[in-house]
Structure formats: C-alpha cells, structure tokens
A and B are shown apart, each in its own frame.
Chain A
C-alpha cells in the first residue's frame, strides 16, 4: 500500500516563526503536492513538484515555499508564519500518469497564534 506520511499531525506556532511541514511517500511517485483546506473554501493547491528539485506554483503560493531534494520527500516552508496561515495542510503524491489518483497523508493541522 502507498503510504504518505506527514511528520506532524498538530502544530502550534507563533506569528513570525519559521515552520517546516514534512511529507514522505514510499512508493517512488514522481508527483507530490501541498494543499491547504479551510472551511467553506475546500482544498486549494499551494505548490506541487513533478520531479526532484522541480516545483510549480499552485493557486495560493504566497507566503509559502517548498523543497524537494529527494524524490520521496516534499517539504512545505512558511518563512514567517502568520495567523491567516492557520489551516489544515494536506500532502499528496501520485504516479507520473496525467492527473491520476492522488494518495493523501493524514494532514497537519497548524495553528498560528
């Protein structure tokens, strides 16, 4: 079974802190994604990566950056956390097939105080 593991299920950070959200997948998938999920807004794509060291902006990249140094790991970075980044963050991966099935992690609920 494909497993996508997000390092932290719950985090509480302070405004201005640098935050790292880590995601690891174990099925050699080419594509990895970071979404955020907010009530009433659904899932919105922040960034995605289709290969090591490759990244593309999604719909809401402002305030975020990403890193993909190894194929299995995709990190989301909040350089200076703000209260409006309080959200549920979902990592997903997929094979190289065009817009195929996504495998999601359990999510990381981030609260910024």
Chain B
C-alpha cells in the first residue's frame, strides 16, 4: 500500500546547485520522514518532521511539510557529488509500520 510518492522520479544537477524533491501522500499523518539510499546499500534516516511542524533544518537539508496539501519537500542546498543517491519519503502505515514511496534518484555531477 503506497502512501508517499516522490516527484520527480529522477533529477540530475551540477555540484553546487540546490536539489528539491517533493513528496505527496494521501491520508492524515502524524509525521513524515526522509531517507537516503546509496546504490546497493541500506537506507539511512535523514530527518523526521512532525505534523505540527512546517519546516525543519538539518545541516544542508531543509524539509517542509504542508498538511493541508498533504505534501512535503526536501531541499538539499549546495549539493555535492556525495549526495548522489536515491531519496525516499515515508509515512506511518498503521501500528509501527512505515510505508515508503518508490524513491527519487538524484545525480550530482562534479
């Protein structure tokens, strides 16, 4: 049961540019999380934003949440080649579960 959907599905940018990814979801949530996955590896948690928060920062990451539009965005500023990865949003799927989107592939060219 897919909940969050990332957009765009793929993004290619130059080093130093900003990258913005969007996530839309369908039902009410109490939090939304973003994860990163380097090729062939497991996912790594980036940031969690609660439903009563509109914006959150962590280093070069900025996440926004608009519960009225059921959408979130992840902004990576001053991107680096090491940011090349797939990015996933996830939302609660009942009890302790998380439901993930299909992911967005970011390529940062040096």
Q: Which residues of A contact B (CB under 8 A)?
A: 4, 31, 33, 35, 40-43, 45, 48, 50, 56, 58-59, 90, 92, 94, 96, 98-107, 109
Q: Which residues of B contact A (CB under 8 A)?
A: 1-2, 30-31, 33, 35, 40-45, 48, 88, 90-93, 95-103
Query: How long is the Cα–Cα vector from A58 to B35 in the complex, in angstroms?
Result: 20
Query: How long is the Cα–Cα vector from A40 to B92 in the complex, in angstroms?
Result: 21
Report the minimal beta-carbon distance from A50 to chain B, rounded to whole angstroms.
Answer: 6
**A31 and B96 form a contact (CB under 8 A):** yes
Q: What residue in chain B is nearest A106 (Cβ atoms)?
A: B42
Given contacts A42-B88, A43-B100, A99-B31, contact A104 B44 (CB under 8 A): yes
16 other A-B residue contacts (CB within 8 Å) besides A102-B45, A102-B98:
A31-B96, A41-B102, A42-B88, A42-B103, A43-B88, A45-B97, A48-B97, A59-B1, A90-B42, A99-B31, A102-B35, A104-B42, A104-B44, A105-B42, A107-B40, A109-B40
Q: What residue in chain A is nearest B100 (Cβ atoms)?
A: A43
* A-B contacts, 30 listed (Cβ < 8 Å): A31-B96, A35-B100, A40-B102, A42-B100, A42-B102, A42-B103, A43-B100, A48-B96, A56-B95, A59-B1, A90-B43, A94-B96, A96-B96, A98-B30, A98-B92, A98-B95, A99-B31, A99-B91, A99-B95, A99-B97, A99-B98, A100-B48, A101-B45, A101-B48, A102-B33, A102-B35, A103-B45, A104-B42, A105-B42, A106-B42
**A42 and B96 form a contact (CB under 8 A):** no
**A107 and B92 form a contact (CB under 8 A):** no
